[in-house]
Amino acid sequence: MVKRIVTGAHYGLRDWLAQRVTAVVMVGFVLCLAIALLISPPHDYATWKSLLSGRWMRIAAFLFLASLFWHAWIGMRNILMDYVHATGLRLTLQILIILSLLFYTIWSVEILWALELAWR
Amino acid sequence: MVARHLGSKKLQRTRPKFLNLMEIRQPLPAVISFLHRVSGVLLFFPGIPLLLCGLEMTLSSPQDYAQFQSLVASPLSKTALTLLLWFFLHHLCAGIRFLALDLHYGGALAQARLTSRVVLAAGIILTLLVSLLIW
């Protein structure tokens, strides 16, 4: 029996798992949306808007987008760690990616919850 | 067999060092994996901002909705959107394959080669199907 001394930051397994869980969440949403679009394809602004305006649809859409942004962060960080070896440049790019994803998150809330105001 | 060859000094001396990635013919599972990365980056940018722009335009007002429709109707944007759709569908299919590999399905060489062919074909076929449905 070898006694292993585990070192490191320990975020590897958590991120690996998060990458997969967010992927499954997104596949679930995309399949449901695709089925909904196939059953009753929205042909104009009103039907398209009413499809996305329901409370559960807004929550599901936001869960999808949040999963997408988290998934994108882990993927982009892995790619930067593999290909960008200059620490300063890598850090700059990572910060830009985090800031853009936070920006996208706020933007998504604005888009989806503007629908709620219109829905009432 | 392999171990004996590697152990032989003569072979070790003449073993070629050839690591030019552009010149090595990559096996199909490697191509699938590489395309998964490339499509991932392109879905991050310009994929995500375009998705949010489209969502905002189509949901904000009937005028913006009509403007979005006319923007999307041009052949150039149709081509770009079809490419993005392929990136998404390839990323999706290859991702499902990686999930299966994580669960130890399809790890044997023959299966891995077969499923990479299926993934590549499924991405392209689904892209054609969806673009036919939309346009």
Domain boundaries, chain B: 27-134
| Amino acid, res. B91 | H
Q: Is B92 on the interface with A (CB under 8 A)?
A: yes
Task: State how far the Cα of B39 lies from the Cα of B88, in Å rounded to an integer.
Answer: 7
Give the residue-averaged pLDDT of B60-74.
Answer: 93
Length of chain A: 120
Task: State how far the Cα of A12 lies from the Cα of B72, in Å rounded to an integer.
Answer: 41
Q: Cα–chain-centroid distance for residue B133? A: 21
Per-residue pLDDT, B2: 47
Block means of pLDDT (10 residues each) for chain A, 120 residues, are 72 90 97 93 91 93 97 96 95 97 97 79
Per-residue pLDDT, A104: 97
> Which residues in chain A are contacts of B92 at CB distance < 8 A?
27, 30
Task: Look up the CATH number of domain B27-134.
Answer: 1.20.1300.10
Nearest CB to A72 within list B48, B55, B56: B48
- B11: helix, strand or coil: helix
Per-residue pLDDT, A11: 80
CB contact under 8 A, A48 and B65: yes
Which tokens belong to A2? Answer: 């070898």
The ipTM is: 0.89
- Please say whether the structural domain A12-119 has been given the CATH code 1.20.1300.10: yes
Chain A contact probe: residue of B56, B59, B91, B129 with most A CBs at under 10 A: B59
Per-residue pLDDT, B22: 72
Per-residue pLDDT, B1: 43
Residue closest to B43 by CA, chosen among A65, A59, A84: A65
Which tokens belong to B11? Answer: 């072979």
Contacting residues for A79 by C-beta, under 8 A, at least 6 apart: B37, B40, B41
Per-residue pLDDT, B11: 57
Length of chain B: 135
| Amino acid, res. A106 | I
Task: State how far the Cα of A105 lies from the Cα of A99, in Å rounded to an integer.
Answer: 10
Task: State how far the Cα of B5 lies from the Cα of B9, in Å rounded to an integer.
Answer: 9
The pLDDT tens digits of the residues spanning B23-66 come to: 778 889 999 999 999 999 999 999 999 999 999 999 999 999 99
Nearest CB to A115 within list B44, B59, B65: B59
The pLDDT tens digits of the residues spanning B82-130 come to: 999 999 999 999 999 999 999 999 888 888 999 999 999 999 999 999 9
Q: Cα–chain-centroid distance for residue A104? A: 10
- A5: helix, strand or coil: coil
CB contact under 8 A, A107 and B52: yes
| Amino acid, res. B113 | R
Residue for token digits 């189509």? B58
Q: Is A24 on the interface with B (CB under 8 A)?
A: yes
Domain boundaries, chain A: 12-119
